[in-house]
Structure 1
Amino acid sequence: MAGYLKIEHVDKSFERNGVTSEVLKDISLEISEGEVISIIGHSGCGKSTLLNLIAGLTEVSSGAIVLGSEVVSGPGPERAVVFQNHSLLPWLTVYENVNLAVSKVFGAKRSRAERHEWIMHNLDLVQMGHARDKRPAEISGGMKQRVGIARALAMEPKILLLDEPFGALDALTRAHLQDAVMEIHERLHNTMIMITHDVDEAVLLSDRIVMMTNGPAARIGEVLDVPLGRPRRRLELAGDRTYLKCREAVLKFLYERHRFVEAA
Structure 2
Amino acid sequence: MSKHYLTIENVGKTFSSGPVSNEVLDNVNLTVDRGEYLSIIGHSGCGKSTVLNIVAGLLEATSGGVILDGKEVNSPGPDRSLVFQNHSLLPWLTVYENVALAVEKTQKRTRNKAERHEWVLKNLEMVGMSHALHQRPAEISGGMKQRVGIARALAMEPKVLLLDEPFGALDALTRAHLQDEVMRIQAELNNTVLMITHDVDEAVLLSDRIVMMTNGPSATIGEILDVDLPRPRDRIELADNPDYNRYRREILRFLHEKQKKVESFREHATPTQQEPTAKRA
Which residue matches 1:70? Answer: 71
User: Is residue 132 from structure 1 mapped to residue 133 from structure 2 by the alignment?
Assistant: yes
Q: Deviations over 1:130-178 (max 9, x none)?
A: 1111110111000000000000000000000000000100000000000
Q: Deviations over 1:14-48 (max 9, x none)?
A: 11012111000000011000000000000000000
Q: TM-score, normalised by structure 2?
A: 0.93
Which residue matches 1:11? Answer: 12
Q: Deviations over 1:202-251 (max 9, x none)?
A: 00000000000000000100000000011101001000011000000000
Inter-partner Cα distance in structure 2 for 1:29 and 1:197: 19
What do you get for the CA RMSD once the two structures are aligned? 0.9
* Match runs of 1:145-156 below 5 Å: 145-156=146-157
Percent sequence identity over aligned pairs = 64
Structure 1 runs of 4+ aligned residues shifted over 3 Å read none
* SS at structure 2 position matched to 1:77: coil
Structure 1 residue identity aligned to 2:149: G
Inter-partner Cα distance in structure 2 for 1:18 and 1:256: 33
* SS at structure 2 position matched to 1:144: helix
Structure 1 residue identity aligned to 2:197: T
Which residue matches 1:25? Answer: 26
Inter-partner Cα distance in structure 1 for 2:192 and 2:230: 17
Inter-partner Cα distance in structure 2 for 1:30 and 1:109: 30
Q: TM-score, normalised by structure 1?
A: 0.99
Which residue matches 2:272? Answer: none
Which residue matches 2:120? Answer: 119
Q: Number of residues paired by the alignment? A: 264
Q: Return the offset for 1:103.
A: 0.2
* SS at structure 2 position matched to 1:30: strand
Inter-partner Cα distance in structure 1 for 2:176 and 2:18: 43
Inter-partner Cα distance in structure 1 for 2:263 and 2:224: 23
User: Is residue 167 from structure 1 mapped to residue 161 from structure 2 by the alignment?
Assistant: no
* SS at structure 1 position matched to 2:176: helix
* SS at structure 1 position matched to 2:162: strand
Structure 2 residue identity aligned to 1:63: G
Q: Is the 8 A contact 1:9 1:26 kept in 2?
A: yes
| Structure label with greater radius of gyration | 2
* Match runs of 1:43-58 below 5 Å: 43-58=44-59
Which residue matches 1:259? Answer: 260
Inter-partner Cα distance in structure 2 for 1:66 and 1:19: 30
Inter-partner Cα distance in structure 1 for 2:171 and 2:95: 22
Which residue matches 1:190? Answer: 191
Q: Return the offset for 1:110.
A: 1.5
Unmatched 5+ stretches in structure 2: 266-281
Structure 1 residue identity aligned to 2:51: L
